Chain A
Amino acid sequence: MTSFAGWQMPLRYGSETAEHLAVRRAAGLFDLSHMGEIAVTGPDAGTALDYALTGQPSAVPPGRARYMMICAEDGGVLDDIVVYRQGEQEFLVIANASNTATVFSALTDRAAGHDAAVVDATQDYALIAVQGPAAAGILAPLVKLDPAGPENPKSPEFGELEAMKYYAGAFGTVAGREAWVARTGYTGEDGFELYCRPQDAEHVWTVLTGQGAGAGLVPAGLAARDTLRLEAGMPLYGNELGPDVTPFEAGLGRVVKFDKPGEFVGREALSARAAAGPSRHLAGLSIASRRIARHGYPVLADGRTCGTVTSGAPSPTLGAPIAMAYLDRPAAGLAGAVLTVGIRGEAVPAHLTDLPFYSRRR
């Protein structure tokens, strides 16, 4: 267990390497209840979020999800978030635990003047994720999605779980308990995130571990989640993202929807950055050693510092250490240079690698 943002969180249940590989090969079960859930509802909820965020939630169809960011006026990233549109006027914004208060406060300020209510609903939800190629098969018999029909306008995407699209969600039940069931995740695998009531979480967890064990489902901790997202090239707030970078440095400029109608917070600074180009470049590195290039270690080109490692770990899938780093020039500018990472005084050879390090077969 480890303490994080006021939560006690499971770092690992047994071996994090075994948990990682279980997610790649079968399935892992994660307790992500620390994540923040902020409900934004009302007739103007969509336009309030269009103003508050880099994306365009008002254009997201009910029952679908989008990854986007919330930026400061200067374009710096306050958090990266997933927005679910749960109904015409109902949105659920998922924030990182350490940023929930910041996101809630920013959304509250930015929704002022709109006919929209912003509520921090973090304590109303437990979040259980089932991730991996076996996830849909394990969950299908346990999940009932609300049937279509005008009597339930909140559930626009229905039907069988396996037919649910990636980055979609629907109300339903899991093991008989009410939940928002979404096909989203942070592992680079197919998988689902189940937002249920805290008092139902233990029941859901217990049923899932029992039903999933035969299919290879194992509980997985945050250590495995970190190596899974790193292999998948996904940024982590505090490592690749923060108030000192815009989405463009992270190679995620696509989340900024300049063509949406109306103003949005950070537009001016973000357009300037889009025009000028990123100030740093996020790159993937493979490390020619068994030592790990960790957060904060320097990256050198021909012996001169050219960047800093943001995240590093052994890659259980690739069998060698990998890292992400911010470099002061794009990869093309490093052609022919000898790259090394300073690992506690030793210059260890590294190689530029395209992100992501791992993509699942679709």
Chain B
Amino acid sequence: MSVPAELHYTPEHEWVSVEGTSASVGITDYAAQQLGDVVFVSLPTPGATVTAGEPCGEVESVKSVSDLYSPVDGEVIEVNTELEGDPSLVNAEPYTAGWMFRVRVAQDGNGDAALPTDLLSAAEYEELTKSAG
């Protein structure tokens, strides 16, 4: 199971990759393995406002359907339209081609992306998945 060190994570198994004030979001390798084959992903609409910790879409696999939570506050600027044709990208490449949506987040006083303070580091997330068994 892969947990890239440079990403932020949530206890709901999303990852966040930040570049400037743009935050890309997807679900983790652990989540994808737990869900099994993803068959449908419902994503927020570009322009929509998302709130950290609130559901903004759904991930449907063969065996289950799960809410997709936004890990950050902001405006959706882009969604991964490739997933419409090939949702299995979420299983195959959860951190790259299987990304889900991008959000423009607010800046903090230093001009950096203002992220929720409760996001997890890779080490913290790995610990969480281990204790979940």
A residues neighboring B (CB under 8 Å): 11-12, 15-17, 223, 226-227, 290-292, 294, 313-314, 344
Given contacts A15-B91, A344-B65, contact A292 B60 (CB under 8 A): yes
B130 proximal to A (CB < 8 A): no
Nearest neighbor of A292 in chain B, beta-carbon distance: B60
B residues 7-63 in Cβ contact with A at 8 Å: 36-37, 39-40, 42, 58, 60, 62-63
Given contacts A15-B91, A17-B62, A223-B62, contact A292 B40 (CB under 8 A): yes
Nearest neighbor of A290 in chain B, beta-carbon distance: B40
Verify A313–B62 contact, CB threshold 8 A.
yes
Verify A11–B63 contact, CB threshold 8 A.
yes
CA distance A226 to B65 in the complex (A): 16
Across-interface contacts of A292 in B (CB, < 8 A): 39-40, 60, 62, 65
Nearest Cβ in chain B — how far from A230, in angstroms?
11
Q: Which of A15, A223, A291 contacts B63, CB < 8 Å?
A: A223
CA distance A243 to B30 in the complex (A): 38
CA distance A17 to B62 in the complex (A): 8
Nearest Cβ in chain B — how far from A231, in angstroms?
12
CA distance A15 to B62 in the complex (A): 10
Given A11-B63, A17-B88, A290-B40, 12 further pairs, Cβ under 8 A: A17-B37, A17-B62, A223-B62, A226-B63, A290-B39, A290-B60, A291-B40, A292-B39, A292-B65, A294-B65, A314-B39, A344-B58
Nearest Cβ in chain A — how far from B112, in angstroms?
37
CA distance A25 to B88 in the complex (A): 21
CA distance A344 to B57 in the complex (A): 12
Query: How many positions in chain B have a CB within 8 Å of any CB in the partner chain?
Result: 12
Residue interface bits B61-91, CB-to-A below 8 A is 1, else 0: 0110100000000000000000000001001
Nearest neighbor of B67 in chain A, beta-carbon distance: A344
Q: Which of A227, A290, A291, A344 contacts B62, CB < 8 Å?
A: A227
| Nearest 7 interchain pairs by C-beta | A290-B40, A17-B37, A314-B39, A16-B62, A15-B37, A16-B36, A16-B37
Across-interface contacts of B60 in A (CB, < 8 A): 290-292
CA distance A223 to B64 in the complex (A): 11
Nearest Cβ in chain A — how far from B57, in angstroms?
12
Nearest neighbor of B63 in chain A, beta-carbon distance: A223
Across-interface contacts of B62 in A (CB, < 8 A): 16-17, 223, 227, 292, 313-314
CA distance A11 to B63 in the complex (A): 10
CA distance A16 to B91 in the complex (A): 12
Nearest neighbor of B91 in chain A, beta-carbon distance: A15
Across-interface contacts of B58 in A (CB, < 8 A): 344
Nearest Cβ in chain B — how far from A225, in angstroms?
12
CA distance A16 to B62 in the complex (A): 8
Across-interface contacts of B39 in A (CB, < 8 A): 290, 292, 314
| Interchain Cβ contacts under 8 Å between A and B, 8 examples | A223-B36, A223-B63, A290-B40, A290-B60, A291-B40, A292-B39, A313-B63, A314-B62
Nearest Cβ in chain B — how far from A172, in angstroms?
35
Across-interface contacts of A314 in B (CB, < 8 A): 39, 62
Nearest Cβ in chain B — how far from A251, in angstroms?
25
Across-interface contacts of B37 in A (CB, < 8 A): 15-17
Q: Which of B36, B42, B88 contacts A12, CB < 8 Å?
A: B36
CA distance A233 to B123 in the complex (A): 46
Across-interface contacts of B88 in A (CB, < 8 A): 15, 17
CA distance A294 to B40 in the complex (A): 14
